[in-house]
Amino acid sequence: MPHDGIIYLDHAATSWPKPPEVLEAIAYALGPAGGNPNRSAHRLALAAARLMLESRSTVASFFGVPDARDLLFVPGCTFGLNMALKGLLEPGDRAVVSSVEHNAVVRPLAVLEKAGVEVVRIPTDRSGRIDLDAAEALVAARPTKAVVCQHASNVTGAIQPIGDLADIAHDHGAILVVDGAQAAGHLKVDVTALGADVYVASGHKGLLGPQGIGVVYLAPVIEVRELVQGGSGGDSGSLTMPAARPDRYEAGTPPVPAIAGLGAAVEVLSREIDALVVQEQRLVQRLVAGLAAIDGVRVLGPAPGEERAPVASIVHASVEPDRLAYELDSRYGIAVRAGLHCAPAAHAAAGTLETGAVRFSIGRGVTEADVDLALEAVREVCSK
């Protein structure tokens, strides 16, 4: 149902509204637990430290991480991906990466490429899925340090075969780094079962938390250099960061309100995830089938009925994406996103680099009525 008169179909940008538990947890973190965790020893600081511990353990078990210390809090998915890529790859190393990545992967890799890292790209089919045979051939061709791939596309919704890619990477001694920004909270993700060595996610998208927080799972045997050095609350006499996780990777005062909000959000999700995945899949398939049936509309990515994350982007033969998004917002109160979605590579693969597309994305709280209203609105705007 519409919230505040808005039909919110922009969950891939950020989820909204947040569960009330998230707002309560943030208020608690700013009030009775408002100290600086792992620094001072008074009750406010201890309460903050407890909140962090609880959040870390909630999020770790949600992702199937056996030891919560391998689950790191970072300022966001972009930061986490930068940390993983720049902390793993050195000049002379080789990375094999999908050709449909978000700029959060593309841009740090471009910097690394300039510095002497070899970057080779795995082709995809038109629906946006990587070609596994090509991936295997590329990884086998030369010693490869890392294979980098998104779990799901923020443009096409294509879900990548991460388990198979993990096998390929590991068979050839490479580390698999996964960008889980669009999968976490929308698909069931068990990082250990998937075989990901590094799995990075945003806190504010499908995980339903606030902005300003992301998570990185780092498999116990994986050695990544930390990106930032600073205070860690202990061992202050040393010039280097403590070796122990998570401290090594969490320099500076942590964003406790965001961490507490994320913990509360993931508690809600842990209860709801099974039903939510089923509901979101049902709604996205309804949306895709409805959009594909509108004259002049092309849905990017997997065909109707095929598996996808709860994202559907479209182009229309005559209505420009910006205009469609504007009309949906101004006339119908429907929030979607037009443009290139920070992922020109995915648009290039879909043939929409010149035009961009309009993206509809589903999340917690979206109903069948919302989807039907959106379909009716697209029909009306596109028939003019």
Catalytic machinery residues: 342
Question: 242, 235 in Cβ contact below 8 A?
Answer: yes
Q: Which of 11, 56, 102, 337 binds ligand PMP (CB under 6 A)?
A: 102
Q: Which of 182, 232, 279, 313 binds ligand PMP (CB under 6 A)?
A: 182
Residue 19 DSSP class: P
Q: Which of 26, 72, 84, 104 binds ligand PMP (CB under 6 A)?
A: 104
- Nearest distance from C-beta of residue 347 to ligand PMP, angstroms: 13
Binding mask 192-231 for ligand PMP (x = CB under 6 A): ----------x-----------------------------
- Nearest distance from C-beta of residue 20 to ligand PMP, angstroms: 22
Query: Each residue of 193-206: b (16+ CB within 10 Å) or e?
Result: ebbbbbbbbbbbbb
- Nearest distance from C-beta of residue 88 to ligand PMP, angstroms: 17
Query: Each residue of 217-235: b (16+ CB within 10 Å) or e?
Result: bbbeebebebbeeeebbee
- Nearest distance from C-beta of residue 11 to ligand PMP, angstroms: 11
CA–CA gap between residue 33 and residue 265 (Å, rounded): 18
Q: Which of 78, 124, 160, 352 binds ligand PMP (CB under 6 A)?
A: 78
Asked whether position 344 contacts ligand PMP by CB under 6 A, the answer is: no
Binding mask 137-166 for ligand PMP (x = CB under 6 A): -------------x---x------------
Measured in degrees and rounded to the nearest 5, phi and psi for residue 177 equal: -105, 125
- Nearest distance from C-beta of residue 209 to ligand PMP, angstroms: 11
Nearer to ligand PMP, 153 or 232 (CB): 153
Q: What pairs with residue 121 in β-bridges?
A: 97
**Cα distance from N-terminal residue to C-terminal residue, the chain:** 27
Question: 296, 317 in Cβ contact below 8 A?
Answer: yes
Number of residues that bind ligand PMP (CB under 6 A): 12
Amino acid at 162: I
CA–CA gap between residue 222 and residue 238 (Å, rounded): 23
Asked whether position 98 contacts ligand PMP by CB under 6 A, the answer is: no
Q: Which two tokens stand for residue 49?
A: 């430290």
Cis peptide before 246 (omega within 30 of 0): yes
Q: Which of 37, 76, 108, 255 binds ligand PMP (CB under 6 A)?
A: 76
Asked whether position 82 contacts ligand PMP by CB under 6 A, the answer is: no
Nearer to ligand PMP, 104 or 269 (CB): 104
Q: How far is CA 192 from CA 184, 195, 198, 219, in A?
A: 14, 5, 10, 8
Query: Each residue of 29-39: b (16+ CB within 10 Å) or e?
Result: beeebebbbbe
Nearer to ligand PMP, 11 or 316 (CB): 11
Nearer to ligand PMP, 101 or 267 (CB): 101
Q: Which of 22, 33, 74, 77 binds ligand PMP (CB under 6 A)?
A: 77
Nearer to ligand PMP, 179 or 267 (CB): 179
Q: Which of 120, 134, 342, 373 binds ligand PMP (CB under 6 A)?
A: 342
CA–CA gap between residue 63 and residue 191 (Å, rounded): 6
User: Rule CB under 6 A: which residues touch ligand PMP?
Assistant: 76-78, 102, 104, 150, 154, 179, 181-182, 202, 342
